[in-house]
Amino acid sequence: MVVLSKALSIDGERHTGQDVRTQNVTAVVAIANVVKTSFGPVGLDKMLVDSIGDVTITNDGATILKLLEVEHPAAKVLVQLADLQDQEVGDGTTSVVLLAAEILKRANELVNRKIHPTSIINGLRIASKEAIKYITDNLAVKVDTLPKDTLINVAKTSMSSKIIGGESEFFSKLAVDAILRVKTTNSKGESKYPVKAINILKSHGKSARESVLVEGYALNCTIASQQMPKRITGAKIAFLDFNLNKQKMAMGVVLNPGDTAKLEGIRDREADIIKERIQMILKAGANVILTTKGIDALCLKYFVEAGAMAVRRCKKEDLKRIAKATGGSVLLTLANLEGDESFDASNLGTCEEVVEERIADDECILIKTDNKKSSSIILRGANSVMLDEMERSMHDALSIVKRTLESNTVVAGGGAVEASLSIYLENCATTLGSREQLAIAEYAEAMLVIPKTLAVNAAKDATDLVAKLRAHHNAAQTDATKKQYAYAGLDLVNGKVRNNLEAGVLEPAMSKVKMIKFATEAAITILRIDELVTLNPKEEPGHPEH
């Protein structure tokens, strides 16, 4: 007798095939539509209010997507994509999301026309490789061959869509000066520009134009006691990540000394332990002490007597940065490997001056190093919402200038690269005699989402402008006498097509290359999905309401 086993079932829902793809594409396009209107030099801002009522006003793609609590798994891929672009390049987060969503939308239409996803994926990969190769070979321009204000123009292009776009001349100079100050050279002789070495402080009041660049690392702290010196030259800095408070017995320890004299002795010893630690630090030559924790009144007395400057409640990341710039190290404890307490002078950082200065309405500590490896920007503005957005804009501009300096190549902005690639890939597609041709043709079409969105957001006739732009790029690729048309991009103020290389609308080539790579990878990741299994939550025993 044959017993038929009961069919295996899943405790959940299972969607397969085209339903899943359509669902994923709908979710991704919905996410892209959120950031679409914030794209470009005349993009609009978004106001996001979270569950506790905190307000954020921004048009930075990565920030908007981070603050949206996205539930759909495919849409989450896009949020991570924007975050990746932000970490790798620092700008171009909105364009990478728009491009990924458009590629996916068009790929889904091909699947509906009964073309296998694998053929489409192969086509997308070929298109992405060809596009990157074309950018590096034909569209990228070396910075050395351009005028001196190239860096300022790159920063201006990045800021054009931000809140400080109206003052982009002033802020781009600030960004370029700040990044050039932190130049370091690694062991291979390559120049590096760490954006994290630039500390951005925000101070309420005055207008945005009264923001300043300060030489040295500015700390948003004050000295712990007014009797301490406010300026120390030839500073030797100790970096501590522990409390400088009177030693206390651990919780739960019960003392039974028998007589009061012994109790007094214990109390005195508690005070002596911290005194010995402080003497140890001062004996090693430290005259500036920075700690992430607190310093109590008893300990302050010793520092005041020694004529040292002590600063409490510093941020740990600030401490690490200063330690790196001054050659010191952050200590978590004074205990050494043997279990004894000691403080080695090699842990001290040295700099030419530490001074407390009044900048704007607040005092802050400035650490000035002779090797000029750090700088700080103090932003001024009307309110915290504006200052937060200014900080995000400055971070994007600094990252873009850093990428330009490190890669030494730029491309024309304003949709020039995308329009050029669209024409090039269209021609490329016709040379292939396989199914991939269709995917490459759709990829070429998807590229136009960038100039189209730019034109729409600028309240211009997108169809007309994009047609003119394509005509310019077609001429550049077919007529040897019109090579300069390869840099044709949109002038969104006047609604014309112009040479954006001459107009100074520039972006680092690396930003475009990464954008194409990441957008294609994200689209392929989502396109590969053909089944969605949603498991039902398990009931916890004893909790029927679950």
Q: Is 60 marked active-site?
A: yes
Q: Which of 56, 93, 291, 404 is catalytic?
A: 93
Active-site entry in 56, 58, 63, 94: 94
User: Is the torsion defined by CA of 88, 91, 97, 99 positive or negative?
Assistant: negative
Cα four-point dihedral sign 438, 441, 447, 452? negative
What pairing do the DSSP bridges indicate for beta strands 184-185 and 191-192? antiparallel
Please state at what angle helix 73-88 crosses helix 509-527, rounded to 10 degrees: 160
What whole-number distance in Å separates Cα of residue 205 and Cα of residue 456?
36
Instruction: Say whether 241 is catalytic.
Output: no
Beta-bridge partners for 376: 199, 214
Q: Is the sign of the CA dihedral 338, 343, 344, 349 positive or negative? A: positive
Question: Which three-class secondary structure state does DSSP give residue 232?
Answer: strand
Q: Please check whether residue 405 is in contact with residue 179, taking contact to mean a CB–CB distance below 8 angstroms.
A: yes
At 267, which helix (H) or strand (E)? helix 260-283
Residue 313: count other Cβ atoms within 10 Å of its Cβ.
Answer: 14
Q: Is 269 exposed, middle or buried (0-12, 13-18, 19+ CB in 10 A)?
A: exposed
Query: Which candidate in 91, 396, 453, 491 is catalytic?
Result: 396
**Residue 296 known to be catalytic:** no
396 is catalytic: yes
Residues 6 or more apart in contact with residue 379 via CB below 8 angstroms: 200, 201, 202, 203, 208, 211, 387, 390, 391, 394
How would you list the strands of the sheet with 409-412, edge to edge? 141-142, 409-412, 506-508
Helix (H) or strand (E) holding 531: strand 531-535
Catalytic machinery residues = 60, 93-94, 396
